[in-house]
A and B are shown apart, each in its own frame.
Chain A
Amino acid sequence: MNDLLDLIGWPWPDWDLPSLPLPDLPDIPLPDLPVTAAQVMILLTATAGILGLAVGRRSSRPAAWVAVLSSGLVLLAAVWQLYAVYELGGQQVSGTVGPLALGELEAPLELSATRLSALVAAVVSLVALVVQVFARWYLWFDPRYRQFSATVSLFTAAMLLVVLSGDVLLTLIGWEVMGWCSFLLIGHLSVKDSANRAAVKALLVTRLADVGFVIGLIWLAAGAGSTSVEAIIEHWTGDSYAALGVAMCLVVVGVAGKSAQLPFQDWLPDAMEGPTPASALIHAATMVAAGTVVLAQLFPLLQAAGPARLLLAVLVSVTVVLAALLAFAQPDLKRLLAWSTVSQVGLMLAALTVVPGGTGPDVAIMHLLSHAWFKALLFLTVGWMGVLTGGTVVRYVASATKRYRSLRRPMGLGLLALAGVPPMVGFVSKELVLAQAEHGVQDGVGPAGTIVLAAVGASVPLTAAYCMRAWLILDRGPIQRLQRTPRRAQEHQIIDDFFDEPEVLEEAIGIEEAESAISSSARTAVALLGFCSVVGGILVFTPQLDLHVSINLQLLVAALLLMALAALAVWVVSRGVGSRDAAARLPIRVSLAAERGLGFDALYRAVVARPVVALAHGVQWLDREVLDGYVRGAGHAARLLGGALEHTHPRRPAPGLVLVLAGVLVLAVIGVVLT
């Protein structure tokens, strides 16, 4: 044994990330423009949102031009900003509509582009561009394409505002506008009641959590007397305050709501009612990831606030594992992706809680970027597939990549990246999170570290398991069921889940069908995301990310082994199931519970919705019968009194009144004459 260990050189030393020098960038002189890239990006997307609504009522064409062109220009601006930040170093501050005269409170409302925020902004604009191009195809025949693309533009503007914000007030603005746009996007098909319900649920759940966010940010700003992030960090890190812990806990609650972490997670799977491009935007690069961005901006405060970090660690750790388990059992592929989003966003946030002193939030940001690429890729591919197969539940999508070979590559790349198979970008970012958690534990970040390490470790095989499950279903050979005869029926139960065996297609016909269904630009956009999902990992070697993480090779190998084992186990279980769906072996009660998200929806209704409505009825009754009762009583009394007095009084003016009036006139004349 020892020989063997010696042979492989055990224990392996930790491996430091090499830093590749960037090739010398051409020294383009930065022109001294009156606007900065950040201003251009936000202004352009917001204007595109308004303009997109205003132009062309007859055709979707002008709206599409506005949306796609502006997204393209924004991407260019983002690249320009990356370059400018790289060349000039530090942060690029630029103003917006501030400063505001809000009395004692300073509100400079400045944008700030830093190394990380410029990077995130670039990826957000890339995904937004891809989504706009894809939506142009996907919603070609939708009579409300105009509204959709405008809302997507507005949504992007809000996200860019959050990313580039240097002021908590701006952060809050972007945050809330994103919530409202997500309401509109999820409820895009407003004739469907399920879509309306999902939209309302998404808005209200996140809005409720935002109470914490709003109060937390107000608390932070009130302490510093300013809403500028810089001033807030300076004020609160100067001393150790007990209030900081509470305030940051409140912020964390808001983040948990927007990022769909426990106990707010249930809005996200329902949000799949929205059109697929909206799902790709909301659940890949923008809304659910916004929490990570905000906490990265307030990172020094999160580091200083122990309780908030612990709260976040516990919430996300439970969510990561739970959501991965639920993802495995979903009968709908889109909902599987939704739950995997919940789990992956949990990983990003987890990476923020275990950062050893002296390092930044770069690992979390790296996972954000990686997730943005591969999840957008997966969502868009699933949208494409849904168009071909007529739905995304297992019985529609079985054998999909065999029938439509063009789907095979994007789907395979996306699932590999999600599972974290080397050398995909998902592998790189997930290993970094794992390494960071391990470092955190060694560095003594407290109990948060242990919890997070356990959860991240557990998520590795779980993610691999549900990705393998999805792949087995998708890549099932269409004739498999016919050739198998039940063997060893006692030990190995054969499940025939009676789905419509798809017609055996000629490969060429399938490819032709798949490719004629989609526009070439949308296909190119998907391919671009696939490319990013493969090579995106290179980013960690560039100076754009400042990583002080050394990789523990034992841990890495163990993680890969676990992954392989999980995939193998899923494959074994899936044998003998007609659709090759490993989850078909779960007891029916388990899969039903998983499909319903463990009954959290009923919990929300029982704990929040119903009591509030009951209270509202109580308020209405009190208002009508008690508060207004007094008023009605007074009114009746006055009427009665008036009526009674009326009887004692002649109803027509008495002739004597003329005399009185004449007297008044005389008096007036006398008065005028005498003065």
Chain B
Amino acid sequence: MSVIDALALPVLVLTPLLVGVWLLVADRVGTPPRPGTSRSLAVAAAVLVAASAVVVVWRRPEIDLLWIESLGVRLDLGVDGLSAPFLLLTGLMAVVATLVPYHHPLSDARLGEPGRHEPTVALPVVGTDVPRPRALATYYACLLVVVAGSLLTFLTRDAVVFFVAFELVLIPMWVLVARHGDATSAADRDGAALRFLLFTATGSMLMLVGILALWGATGTTDLSRWAELAGSSLASGTQVVVAVILLIGLGIKVPVWPLHTWLPWVHATAPTAGSVLLAAVLLKMGAYGMIRLVAAPLPEGLATVAPVLAGLAVTGILWAGLACLVEQDLKRLIAWASIGHLGFVVLAIAAGSETGLQAAIYGNMAHGLISALLFVLVGNLKHQWGGADLGSPRAALREVSPRLGFVLVLGMAAAMGLPGLAGFWGEWGALYAAWEPGPGRTLWWFRGFAIAAALGAVLAAAYAVRVLREVWAGDRRSPAIRDTRGVELGLLSLLGVGILALGVYPGPLLDLTAPATEAIIATLGVGR
């Protein structure tokens, strides 16, 4: 093993963590670093993360350290086909989130007058605290810690470490929303942050209970051992109970209907980078957890609750699609669209076939890229528009800012699952998997779900063209906004190319994940 192999894994985990902690401390001790300094430091760390993620996926190094001996908890890090795409996505999103321009939070005072001039003197209105430079170091620190936590979640092969890493991302994310989110009264920053904390903390607690139950039954916290046992040490009744607890806990994170109500609020408030990380990485942790902690170790439990899970997923698809037709806030609309897309992912997981798992992973990756693209775009629009309300008259994007307009067309086409773009394979695969579900699933229930989900895809087309008609088309040319350029244009192009590449050439990603999904489905027989 060469030096690079040996170093890649520690660098991958420790860089964002250490740089993040250093920024956090530096922000509070002595003179805080200038915003430019913290940004470049964070970007450098993110680039290093992305590079080492590629090396790790390519060379597959492993680390196995004893952490808590008495509990048998190990710091056992490694990559398999399942976690590899998630790791790459996180690396990419780290770069995107740190590079995306920071916009000062909108507040009522800043938007106070119709002319939208910045007040010269800070008015004593709630939520006017414009972050001082010192807060920016904390902002970048939070982004990096979220990245570190997500990487550890995807890398670890130990359930307790998984839980710890899962928890690690909550507080920094909360800080991002509560301190750097938009503070207008409409955005309800406090309410959003509170919802996020309440929901995810509840979810984590349930997940911990589930992990402990599995630990008790199997006597180990090793995830690969759990997958090998495939539930053979649990009675089927217990399997169902544990699966339900875990699914509720993870379902909050995904989110699955009806546990989704926090997501539109948080997205509407969160800063652009926060939205990108939330949609493209944090939500994926829920779906990843569903495969790692439920589908692999508790196949029978999942099979029993699968119709309910799939039903909830499909309800979510339709619910979100309908909500998008009348939602008046563009950023909330994108958040709703996310709920719909993850509905397809959960439907595919519930179907319990190899096709389903492949589709679920593919759908996750596609959604990561698409939502990141849309959030970067909408973040820009919201900043320039001074709000994301669709009701206000705006200049038609196609007329005044053709590049943004093009990206919106691409993003909306991808969001409706247009073939040739990334979203198609995951959605079509989910429909197929639901139509032909794995063993132990009630066939005609799932076929009904497939039809309902196909109708949900029509709703996706409807809201996509609704957004295009309201934002992109038309003849208004004022108030003019600036077209995208510079770093942001680069990011949008990168994400756009990624979406097109995944859409046109799905082979490599499917091949990457195929062995892992095959293994999960192959162990299904072991438990019986």
Q: Which A residues have a C-beta under 8 Å from some C-beta of B?
A: 97-98, 100-105, 169, 172-174, 176-177, 180, 183-184, 187, 190-193, 196, 199-200, 203-204, 207-208, 210-211, 214-215, 218-219, 221-222, 612-613, 615-617, 619-620, 623, 627-628, 631-632, 634-635, 638-639
Using a Cβ–Cβ cut-off of 8 Å, how many residues does chain B contribute to the interface with A?
62
Pairs A–B under 8 Å by Cβ, sample size 18 = A100-B506, A100-B507, A101-B507, A102-B358, A102-B510, A103-B355, A103-B518, A173-B420, A183-B465, A196-B473, A199-B465, A204-B461, A214-B428, A219-B435, A623-B261, A623-B319, A631-B198, A631-B199
Q: A616 to chain B: which residues have CB within 8 Å?
A: 322-323, 325-326
Q: Are B262 and A631 in contact (CB under 8 A)?
A: yes
How far, in whole Å, are A101 and B465 apart by their CA atoms in the complex? 32
- Within the assembled complex, what's the spacing in Å between the Cα atoms of A276 and B357? 46
B342 at interface, CB cutoff 8 A: no
Known: A103-B354, A103-B356, A177-B418. A196 touches B469 (CB 8 A): yes
In contact, B322 and A97 (Cβ under 8 angstroms): no
A214 and B431 form a contact (CB under 8 A): yes
A200 touches B465 (CB 8 A): yes
* Nearest opposing residue in chain B for A211, CB measure: B454
Is the CB–CB distance between A631 and B261 below 8 Å? Answer: yes
Interface contact B419-A176, CB-CB below 8 Å:
yes
Q: State the main secondary structure of chain A at its contact with B.
A: helix
| Structural contact, B507 and A98, CB atoms closer than 8 A | yes
- In the complex, what residue of chain B is closest to A183 when comparing beta carbons? B465
Interface bits B437-456 vs A (CB < 8 Å: 1, else 0): 00000000000001100110
CB distance from A153 to the nearest CB of B (A): 13
> Are the CB atoms of B323 and A190 closer together than 8 Å?
no
Determine the residue in chain A with the shortest Cβ distance to B418. A180
Instruction: Please name all residues of chain B whose beta carbon is closer than 8 Å to the beta carbon of A102 when the two chains form the complex.
Output: 354-355, 358-359, 429, 432, 510
Q: Is the CB of A612 within 8 A of B472?
A: no
Find chain B residues with CB under 8 A from A210 CB: 458
* Cα separation A192 to B473 with both chains bound (whole Å): 8
**Complex interface bits, B252-273 against A, C-beta within 8 A gives 1, otherwise 0:** 0000001001100000000000
Cβ contacts under 8 Å, B98 to chain A: none
Residue numbers in A under 8 Å from B353 (CB-CB)? 103-104
Q: CA of A180 to CA of B359 in the docked complex: distance in angstroms?
A: 23
Q: How far is the CA of A623 from the CA of B262 in the complex (A)?
A: 11
- Whole-angstrom distance between the Cβ of B94 and the nearest chain A Cβ: 28
Contacts of A612 in B (CB 8 A): 322, 325, 459, 462
A103 touching B475, Cβ below 8 Å: no
B456 — nearest CB in chain A belongs to which residue?
A211
> Bound complex: CA of A97 vs CA of B424, how far in Å?
15
Residue B64 interfacial (CB < 8 Å): no
Known: A196-B473, A215-B450. A101 touches B511 (CB 8 A): yes
Instruction: Say whether A101 contacts B358, CB under 8 Å.
Output: yes
A-chain residues with CB within 8 Å of residue B413 when the two chains form the complex: 180
Cross-chain contact of A97 among B398, B465, B507, B517 (Cβ < 8 A): B507
Residues of chain A within 8 A (CB-CB) of B514 are: 101, 103
- In whole Å, how far is B99's beta carbon from the nearest beta carbon of chain A? 23
Name B260's closest neighbour in chain A (CB-CB): A627
Contacts of B325 in A (CB 8 A): 612-613, 616
| Secondary structure call for the B interface | helix
Complex contacts, A211 vs chain B, CB 8 Å: 451, 454-455, 457-458
In the bound complex, do residue B198 and residue A218 qualify as a contact, i.e. CB atoms below 8 Å apart?
A: no
Which of A105, A187, A191, A631 contacts B195 (CB under 8 A)?
A631
Produce 1/0 per residue, B382-400, CB < 8 A to A. 0000000000000010110
Contact assessment for A105 and B355 in the assembled complex, using a CB-CB cutoff below 8 Å: yes
The B184-223 residues at the A interface (CB cut-off 8 A) are 191, 194-195, 198-199
Most chain A CB atoms below 10 A, which of B354, B435, B469, B473: B473
Contacts of A174 in B (CB 8 A): 419
Which B residues are in CB contact (< 8 Å) with A207?
A: 458, 461-462
B360 CB to closest chain A CB (Å) equals 11
B505 touches A619 (CB 8 A): no
Assembled-state Cα–Cα distance A222/B325 (Å): 32
Residues 234-259 of chain B: 1 if any A CB is under 8 Å from the residue's CB, otherwise 0? 00000000000000000000000010
Report chain A residues within 8 Å CB of B473.
187, 190-191, 196
> Given A204-B465, A635-B198, are A222 and B261 neighbors across the interface (CB < 8 Å)?
no
The 10 closest A-B pairs by CB, nearest first: A103-B354, A103-B355, A190-B473, A173-B419, A191-B475, A101-B514, A616-B322, A222-B436, A616-B325, A628-B261
Give min CB distance, A69 to chain B, whole Å. Answer: 22
- Expressed in whole angstroms, the minimum distance between the Cβ of A401 and any Cβ of chain B is 35
Are B465's CB and A104's CB within 8 A? no
With A101-B511, A203-B465, A616-B326 as contacts: A191 and B396 at CB distance below 8 Å: yes
B409 contact set on A, CB distance < 8 A: 184
Residues of A within 8 A of B518 (CB): 103
**In the complex, how many angstroms separate the beta carbon of B519 from the nearest chain A beta carbon?**
12
Inter-chain contacts of B432 with A (CB < 8 A): 102, 105, 218, 221-222
How far is B461's CA from A199's CA once the two chains are assembled, in angstroms?
A: 12
A199 proximity list for chain B (CB < 8 A): 465
Give every chain B residue within 8 A of A215 (Cβ-Cβ).
431, 435, 450-451, 454
Let me know if B396 and A190 touch, CB within 8 A. yes
Cα of A191 to Cα of B476 in the assembled complex, Å: 8
Complex contacts, B358 vs chain A, CB 8 Å: 101-103
Residue B488 at the chain A interface, CB threshold 8 Å: no
Known contacts A102-B510, A177-B419, A627-B261; is A619 also within 8 Å of B354 by CB?
no
Which single residue of chain B is at the shortest CB-CB distance from A636?
B194
B258, B323, B420, B459 pick with most chain A CB within 10 angstroms: B420
With a cutoff of 8 Å between Cβ atoms, the chain B residues found around residue A98 in the complex are: 507
Would A623 and B323 count as touching, CB distance under 8 A? Answer: yes
A635 touching B191 in the complex, CB below 8 Å, given contacts A204-B461, A215-B435: yes
Q: How far is the CA of A200 from the CA of B469 in the complex (A)?
A: 8
| B521 contacts the other chain (CB 8 A) | yes
Q: Does B4 lie at the interface of the complex (its beta carbon under 8 Å from any beta carbon of A)?
A: no
* Minimal Cβ-Cβ distance residue in B for A53: B406
Min CB distance, A307 to chain B, in Å? 18
Considering residues B455, B465, B506, which has the most beta carbons from chain A within 10 angstroms of its beta carbon? B465
* Least distance between B482 CB and chain A CB atoms (Å): 17
Q: How far is the CB of B51 from chain A (nearest CB, A)?
A: 27
A100 and B509 alpha carbons, distance in the complex (Å): 10
Tell me the smallest distance from the CB of B199 to a CB of chain A, in Å: 7
Interface: B327 (CB within 8 A):
yes
Instruction: A102 to B358: give the CA distance in the assembly, Å.
Output: 6
A221 neighbours in B (Cβ, 8 Å): 432
| Least distance between B171 CB and chain A CB atoms (Å) | 17
Contact residues in A for B510 (Cβ distance below 8 Å): 100-102
Q: Which residues of chain B are within 8 angstroms of A632 by Cβ–Cβ distance?
A: 191
A601 to B461, CA, bound (A): 19
Distance from B56 Cβ to chain A, minimum over Cβ atoms (Å): 22
Q: In chain A, what residue has the closest Cβ to B318?
A: A619
Contact B461 A172 (CB under 8 A): no
Q: Is the CB of B198 within 8 A of A97?
A: no
Query: Which A residues are in CB contact (< 8 Å) with B396?
Result: 190-191
The reply to whether B462 and A204 form a contact with Cβ atoms under 8 Å apart is: yes
Name the CB-closest residue of A to B319: A619
Q: Which of A103, A190, A214, A635 contacts B517 (CB 8 A)?
A: A103
Bound complex: CA A104 to CA B433 (Å)? 9
- Least CB distance from B189 to A in Å reads 13
A443 to B311 CA separation, bound complex (whole angstroms): 48
CA distance A671 to B420 in the complex (A): 60
How far is B191's CA from A632's CA once the two chains are assembled, in angstroms?
8
Query: Smallest CB-CB separation from A222: which chain B residue?
Result: B436
Give the CA-CA distance A97 to B425 in the complex, in Å.
Answer: 13
Please name all residues of chain B whose beta carbon is closer than 8 Å to the beta carbon of A169 when the two chains form the complex.
428
Q: Which residues of chain A have C-beta atoms less than 8 A from B504's C-beta?
A: 97
Contacts of B357 in A (CB 8 A): 103
Closest A residue to B451 by beta carbon equals A215
CB-defined interface of B261-291 with A at 8 Å, one 1/0 digit per residue? 1100000000000000000000000000000
Chain A residue with the shortest CB-CB distance to B398: A190
The listed residue with most A CB atoms (<10 A of its CB), out of B261, B327, B398, is B261
